[in-house]
Structure 1
């Protein structure tokens, strides 16, 4: 059995979604001065490797603290969606074509990991120009009772500096169609994963991703760990 850490470390200045507060981590006590060390963490609930709860975009959606704990123990399969150009949409056909496990194996899974390879651009401007999933891909996932994880900043397109209307306001499902498709079916999402290159693509394996128990939380950072039997 091998454990694979799929989480980005939390650190000051790390990449965040446009408009989110910057991450700041600093000392509030030191061993030299106080005999113990403690730190202050200032960050969004959707910082780094994190989980989105349905309450992230739905007023009636489950909050992160009300999602059944058993749902954070996933049976995962990988869909290899690499070699895509920046901002390429991953529709149902592209997503299903990247799944190599059998239909029978897929039926035992609860999480599909969309491996874009974009984690290698972490910390660069290119990281914000990631591929993204479409609503019909979400509908296919819902039909197969699957949640979704991705090694990119967002499952929907992330606004860029070259957008025609950078001041455009949120317009419900039209702005985040994949999020809304999944949340309407009470699915959870994992974003900003890393290390998917080390995982098998021909079998199902366990993935653990437990969020903080944030009261009425819309999301939370997680420590995502894959458990692969050799």
Structure 2
């Protein structure tokens, strides 16, 4: 297959996790004044299509610099939950919806269908992984990629009282040393198996934006 870009564009006004600062891109040098262009960028380590390292949630978790570049090349298996009737708003993704055996895959790319709402308020009311489902994925030895902003429920006024509190899916996955790749643009034309290259910016941090490419 030809390489497929699964990356969301970094730009001002893009969706960010509620309460996080947005993206800014301001000229620091212009063609008219300096004779060349330079843009000053400001964003967090968890903006756009990005990878969470264990240090994001785990007090003793590893940062990105503790991994080699090959650790961000994944044998991915697509789990397409957007087929048929699809998922409902804020629906839990149960272990029964996920494979019992990942085979030789080391990342489950979960297509919820909520990527279609990128740029809309509905994007924040995505389906989520309850602790048991996240634990199931970790036990399979897999990382998780999602077309959503969060494997846990994202706080919005439409949250219900029976949703998990905090970020238990993050803890289940990151605590087991499994990466989380969020805000993937998982289109409907991906094959069931592909290689996902999600190379982060080279920064020793709790996460970073990636250029995510399926091959």
2:198 equivalent to 1:226: no
Which of the two has greater helix per residue? 1
**Partners in 1 of 2:106 and 2:98 — Cα distance?**
16
Aligned counterpart, 1:209? 198
The CA distance in 1 between the partners of 2:158 and 2:194, in whole Å, is 40
Greater CA deviation, 190-199 or 4-13? 190-199
Q: Does the CA contact (< 8 Å) of 1:81 and 1:95 recur in 2?
A: no
Aligned to 1:193: 184
1:37 alignment counterpart: 37
State the distance in 2 between where 1:58 and 1:205 align.
29
Q: 1:163 to 1:142 in 2, by over 3 A?
A: closer
In the other structure, the counterpart of 1:86 is: 89
1:110 aligns with 2:106: yes
For 2:87 and 2:120, locate their aligned partners in 1 and report how far apart those are by CA, in whole Å.
17
SS in 1 for 2:66: coil
Equivalence map 1:38-187=2 (5 Å): 38-82=38-82, 83-96=86-99, 103=101, 106-163=102-159, 174-187=165-178
Maintained 8 Å contact 1:151/1:196: no
Give 1:9-28 correspondences, 5 Å limit.
9-28=9-28
Structure 1 range deviating more: 42-51 or 29-38: 29-38
* Distance of aligned partners of 1:43 and 1:144 in 2 relative to their CA distance in 1, 3 Å threshold: same
Instruction: Give distance in 2, aligned partners of 1:195 and 1:33.
Output: 41
In structure 2, the CA distance between the partners of 1:163 and 1:108, relative to structure 1 (3 Å rule), is closer
Q: CA deviation at 1:68?
A: 2.6
Report if aligned partners of 2:125, 2:158 keep a CA contact under 8 Å in 1: no
Over 2 Å off, 4+ runs: 161-165
TM-score when scaled to structure 1? 0.86
> Which structure 1 segments of 5+ residues have no match?
98-102, 166-172
Report the Cα offset of residue 162 of structure 1: 4.1
CA RMSD of aligned residues (A): 1.7
**Could you tell me whether the CA contact under 8 Å between 1:52 and 1:220 is conserved in 2?**
yes
How far the C-alpha of 1:95 sits from its partner, in A, is 2.1
Report how many aligned residue pairs link the two structures.
Answer: 210
**Are the counterparts in 1 of residues 143 and 179 from structure 2 also a CA contact under 8 Å?**
yes
